[in-house]
Amino acid sequence: MKIGMLTSGGDCQGLNSALRGVAKTLYHELGDKATLYGIRDGYRGLIEGDYHEMQPDDFSDILTVGGTILGTSRQPFKEMQKAAEDSEETKLDKMLETCKKAEFDVLVILGGNGTHKTANLLSEHGVNVVTLPKTIDNDLWGTDLTFGFQSAVDIATTVIDSIHSTAFSHSRVFIVEVMGHKAGWLTLYAGISSGADVIVIPEIPYSAEKIAEAIESRAEHGKRFSIIAVAEGAISREEAEMSKKEFKAQRAAMSYPSVSYRLAAELQAITGQEIRVTIPGHYQRGGAPCPADRLLTTRFGVAAAELVRKKKFGYMVGLQNGGIVPVKLADVAGKLKTVPPDGEIVRTARALGLSMGD
Ligand code: F6P
């Protein structure tokens, strides 16, 4: 069986441990009946026919290694049915050609939302595909957890913990901007885990006045510092009312590098207090996977290899209610899993007296 593997989209912790889980299981169960190929830089390698045969040793000693041994790139889904560079063929045509030429029996694809749309497109065009859910954003539909998320929560939590102590010493107000794209999972989990005082997520549009009230109320109760965890995708109440077009224009005209700096200026104007901003950025995606992600990726890897072995194609492996289950690709593609604004985790934060910025 010829198995092509690729990692696509933004990297995260656990990609290598997931690849290892798939490969080890296939070599263990199929022996020399399995030949694995590494496709370079995600769909770029599939488009350009950039792949190479891998050996069992390639998957040794990578359980704890960050990033991806295969490399990755972002290849927007909306470009897939457009002509490839210097060619009349589309990127999709090129990928189908590579699959045919390489005689891949199946592609094992590790990625997030955009990656899954393309994986589904390939599947609709007759390619056998099995996928694994990767992203620190945890915003993939059909799985309770994506891998990378728990490691990123660990890092974002550690960052906020460190900011906590310096904010306390200097009696300062800090905003820590957390990644997560258009979903607030990472900010919510890290915010609660680090004891942030205000948590601002895209799913709950914020009011600068309400956040200022929360800071001032803390000060009145003798708390001279505050920590505000802000998701990079946070939006104000006014922005929530705008059309997509108006919102885009508003953000394009924004003179701040990110929403956190704008919020800091707003809060500064209301409270008269200096507001500091810290952005850990890609630090949240780097380094070794945490043990929980090592376990999750190993479970996902073994389950994906089982689907390959049983020739059950067109599925993503997902975590649901504690168990690993196959989820139809067509059901996953194009759907975003966002934080339910009145769900249990948000209610937990509110029960503690935390402000959600609304
Ligand atoms: O999807 C993962 C993620 O880290 C998001 O949280 C973030 O918005 C985005 O990728 C950053 O992308 P890039 O690395 O391409 O700048």
Span 92-123, pLDDT tens digits: 999 999 999 999 999 999 999 999 999 999 99
Report the alpha-carbon distance of residue 93 to residue 142 in Å, rounded: 28
Q: Check whether residue 300 and residue 277 sit in a common domain.
A: no
Give the whole-number percent of the chain exceeding pLDDT 70.
Answer: 100
CA of residue 75 to ligand 1 center, whole Å? 13
Asked if residue 328 has pLDDT above 80, the reply is yes
Both 142 and 37 in one domain: the answer is: yes
Do 17 and 35 belong together in one domain? yes
- If asked whether residues 132 and 21 sit together in one domain, one would say yes
Quote the ligand 1 centre to 234 CA distance (angstroms): 15
- Regarding whether 216 and 117 lie in a shared domain, the answer is no
Q: What's the confidence (pLDDT) of residue 233?
A: 98
For residue 350, tell me if it sits in a domain. no
Instruction: Kindly state if the Cβ of 134 falls inside 6 Å of ligand 1.
Output: no
Protein residue with its CA nearest to atom 15 in ligand 1: 10
Q: Ligand 1 centre from 23 Cα, in Å?
A: 27
Q: How confident is the model at residue 87 (pLDDT cuts 50, 70, 90)?
A: confident
Last residue of one domain, picked from the residues 262, 285, 308: 285
Domain holding 233, by residue range, is 152-285
Mutate to test the pocket of ligand 1, among 136, 259, 284 (most ligand atoms within 8 A of CB): 136
Q: What is the CATH number of the domain that holds 321?
A: 3.40.50.450
Residue 47 lies inside a defined structural domain of this protein: yes
Tokens encoding 73: 């790139």
Q: Can you tell me the mean pLDDT for 13-23? A: 98
Contact in structure between 9 and 111 (CB atoms under 8 Å): yes
The residue whose CA is least distant from atom 9 of ligand 1 is 181
Any domain includes 41: yes
User: Residue range 49-68: average pLDDT?
Assistant: 98
The rounded Å distance from CA 287 to ligand 1 centre is 15
Of 11, 41, 137, 154, the catalytic one is 137
HEC string of the chain equals CEEEEEECCCCCCCHHHHHHHHHHHHHHHHHHHCEEEEECCCHHHHHHCCEEECCHHHHCCCCCCCCCCCCCCCCCHHHCCCECCCCCCEHHHHHHHHHHHHCCCEEEEEECHHHHHHHHHHHHCCCCEEEEEECCCCCECCCCCCECHHHHHHHHHHHHHHHHHHHHHHCCEEEEEECCCCCCHHHHHHHHHCCCCEEECCCCCECHHHHHHHHHHHHHCCCCCEEEEEECCCCEHHHHCCCHHHHHHHHHCCCCCCHHHHHHHHHHHHHCCCEEEECCHHHHHCCCCCHHHHHHHHHHHHHHHHHHHCCCCCEEEEEECCEEEEEEHHHHCCCECCCCCCCHHHHHHHHCCCECCC
Inform me whether the pLDDT recorded for 125 exceeds 90.
yes
Q: What is the mean pLDDT of residues 26-30?
A: 97
Mean pLDDT computed over 251-260: 97
**Is 137 a residue of the active site?**
yes
- Work out the average pLDDT over 233-243: 98
Whether 203 and 261 share a structural domain: yes
Residues 20 and 133 in one domain: yes
Q: Are residues 278 and 309 in the same domain?
A: no
Inform me whether the pLDDT recorded for 60 exceeds 90.
yes
- Closest ligand 1 atom to residue 232 Cα is 8
**What spacing in Å lies between the alpha carbon of 280 and ligand 1's midpoint?**
12
Note the pLDDT of residue 83.
84
- Asked whether residue 296 falls in the same domain as residue 224, the answer is no
Total number of domains in the chain? 2
Residue 277 inside a domain? The answer is: yes
- CB 10 less than 6 A from any atom of ligand 1: yes
- Name the residue of 12, 75, 115, 137 whose CB sits within 8 Å of the most ligand 1 atoms, as the mutation to test its pocket: 137
Q: Which of 181, 260, 279 to mutate to test the pocket of ligand 1 (most atoms within 8 A of CB)?
A: 181
Confidence of residue 85 (pLDDT cuts 50, 70, 90): confident
Q: What's the whole-number mean pLDDT along residues 342-349?
A: 98
Q: Is residue 341 part of a domain?
A: no
Ligand 1 contacts CB of residue 202 (under 6 A): no
Q: Is 86 inside any structural domain?
A: yes
- Average pLDDT over the chain reads 97
Residue 201 domain-assigned (yes or no): yes
The answer to whether residues 230 and 255 belong to one domain is yes
Instruction: State whether 122 and 157 are in the same domain.
Output: no
Query: What is the predicted pLDDT for the residue at 86?
Result: 81
pLDDT at 170 over 90: yes
What mean pLDDT is predicted for residues 295-317? 98
User: Closest residue (by CA) to atom 7 of ligand 1?
Assistant: 181
Separation of CA 247 and ligand 1 centre (Å) = 20
Indicate if 173 and 281 belong to the same structural domain: yes
Confidence check: pLDDT of 250 > 80: yes
Taking the CA of residue 179 as reference, the ligand 1 atom at the shortest distance is 6
346 assigned to some structural domain? no
What is the pLDDT averaged over residues 302-316?
A: 98
Ligand 1 neighbour 111 (Cβ under 6 A): no
Given a cut of 80, whether residue 84 has pLDDT beyond it is no
